[in-house]
Amino acid sequence: MKQFVFILFLTFLISGNTNAQRETTIYDESKVPEYQLPDLLTRFNGRKVKSEKVWDTKRRPEILKVFTDEVYGKVPENLKISDVKVWETSDNALNGLAIRKQISLFFTKNDKNLEVTILMYLPKSVNKAPVFLALNFTGNHTVCSDPNIRLTESWVENNPSIGIINNRITEQSRGSNSDSYPIEEIIKAGYGLVTVYYGDIDPDKNDFSDGIEPFFYKGNQTKPNQDEWGSIAAWSWGLSRVMDYLETDQLVDSKKVAVLGHSRLGKTALWAGATDQRFAIIISNESGCGGAALSKRIFGETVQTINTSFPHWFCDNFLKYNSNEEQLPVDQHMLLALIAPRPLYVASAEGDQWADPHGEFLSAKYASAIYELFGLEGLPVKEMPEVNLPVMGTIGYHIRSGKHHLTAYDWEQYLKFADKHFK
């Protein structure tokens, strides 16, 4: 009996330790616990995938289904754009360099209305321009100091340092994020920039009473069901609706839309690329946990940490994997593989260990198996490249010096990558 109690006590100590370990963030490579990744080329029924056809018709759909049901959540119903209003088209923007266009998409269902405003800068020199489509964090007017950019009326997270008070923006924040959007360089390289404030689609807070989700509630429902969308899936749904609009705009080449996002919006760009194959290039800037970084590799942010800090980003089913990543039937290299054979760029920053740069790189490396199935080179290297030495195959990757941010350096690489694949 004594022995039994002792063993019980030991078990308690050991499991106590494991949990304690999970509570401290791992930043030391030698402390990463062992993990096993599902094989991309083996179906859930154990059969091997040997052709593009089996990938497209069997393996890809089954992986997409797991990500939909267990990670990001289903879109409950289709909803088309109800109305489009073009506020202006000016061919004299940025000192005559660009066309500026501002358009609102309206979504209406029962008594609910949502307005999503698109800002575009397009090069005058290109007829039907290839574009980068990027959601932004604090309103369209923050990407550039242009006084003509309309101010959003949507909820915005408070930031008194740039005059965002009572969750409303003011003039003070105009241009405050312009270092992340080198618009002139983009235009001079022959590309357009299309941007939308992500909070127009769904305000980024743990509250499902606003944004697009309530449009689909049935009866007394107050939040999405447990396999239905969190905010990441809602934002990427919004990207697809912007794409619906771009397909109708004569100034844009909708076959050449590169969807790009930073951080949580990088997670969103990846999910948009996985669910909507009209996006021709997908770019994830420091997307980290729930984005490009592997989840089963415990380093930096984990499933439990992200679900605790941002409970509204994923579907509720994802909570099952808190400190239980080994039970996940998929990992993020499989999300990246859903983008194949389209060009994909994954970027990390040395000072962004929270996002696990090595885990982001490994994910891109393992996704390469599917690009190879298509006869393409995925990542052109097997080991992580040196800092500030980008590599570009059909998958591109860099780790740059500096912190978690979308920088001019990152854009320089994305423009080169777009040239390589679009021109």
Among positions 143-182, residues that touch ligand GCU (CB under 6 A) are none
Q: Cβ of residue 401: shortest distance to ligand GCU, in angstroms?
A: 19
Q: Decide whether 187 or 406 has the Cβ nearer to ligand GCU.
A: 406
Sketch the per residue contact string, 305 through 344, with ligand GCU: x for CB under 6 A, - otherwise: -x--x-----------------------------------
Q: Decide whether 76 or 291 has the Cβ nearer to ligand GCU.
A: 291
With DSSP H G I counted as helix, E B as strand and the rest as coil, what are the percentages for the chain, rounded to 5?
35, 20, 40
Binder of ligand GCU out of 100, 264, 296, 312 (CB under 6 A): 264
232 counts as binding ligand GCU under rule CB under 6 A: no
Q: Decide whether 269 or 418 has the Cβ nearer to ligand GCU.
A: 269
195 counts as binding ligand GCU under rule CB under 6 A: no
Distance of CA 360 to the CA centre of its chain: 13
300 counts as binding ligand GCU under rule CB under 6 A: no
Q: Cβ of residue 345: shortest distance to ligand GCU, in angstroms?
A: 17
Q: Cβ of residue 357: shortest distance to ligand GCU, in angstroms?
A: 13
Quick check: 134 and 161 in contact, CB under 8 A? no
Tell me the CB-side half-sphere exposure of residue 225, using CA atoms within 13 A: 12
263 is catalytic: yes
- CA gap 64, 325 in Å, rounded: 18
Among positions 349-378, residues that touch ligand GCU (CB under 6 A) are 354
Quick check: 404 and 351 in contact, CB under 8 A? yes
Q: Cβ of residue 288: shortest distance to ligand GCU, in angstroms?
A: 5
Quick check: 216 and 202 in contact, CB under 8 A? no
- CA gap 222, 194 in Å, rounded: 33
Binder of ligand GCU out of 288, 357, 359, 396 (CB under 6 A): 288
285 counts as binding ligand GCU under rule CB under 6 A: no
Binder of ligand GCU out of 26, 63, 289, 292 (CB under 6 A): 289
Q: Which among 46-54, 236-244, 245-253, 301-309 is the span making contact with ligand GCU, rule CB under 6 A?
A: 301-309
Strands (E) in 141-229, as ranges, are 192-197
Distances, alpha carbon 278 to alpha carbons 193, 250, 338, 390, 395, in Å: 17, 17, 13, 26, 18
Q: Decide whether 25 or 221 has the Cβ nearer to ligand GCU.
A: 25
Catalytic residue among 240, 323, 404, 405: 404
Here the tokens at position 212 are: 């697009």
Catalytic residue among 104, 263, 348, 363: 263
Tell me the CB-side half-sphere exposure of residue 113, using CA atoms within 13 A: 6
> What is the three-state SS of 25-59?
CCCCHHHCCCCCCCCCCECCCCCECCCHHHHHHHH
301 counts as binding ligand GCU under rule CB under 6 A: yes
- CA gap 265, 136 in Å, rounded: 8
Q: Cβ of residue 332: shortest distance to ligand GCU, in angstroms?
A: 12
- CA gap 363, 384 in Å, rounded: 11
Q: Decide whether 264 or 421 has the Cβ nearer to ligand GCU.
A: 264
40 counts as binding ligand GCU under rule CB under 6 A: no
Q: Which residues contact 338 (CB under 8 A, 6 or more apart)?
A: 60, 63, 64, 67, 273, 274
Q: Cβ of residue 291: shortest distance to ligand GCU, in angstroms?
A: 7
DSSP 109-139: ETTEEEEEEEEEEEETT-SSEEEEEEEESS-
363 is catalytic: no
The site for ligand GCU (CB under 6 A) is made up of 263-264, 288-289, 301, 306, 309, 354
Which residues carry out catalysis? 263, 404
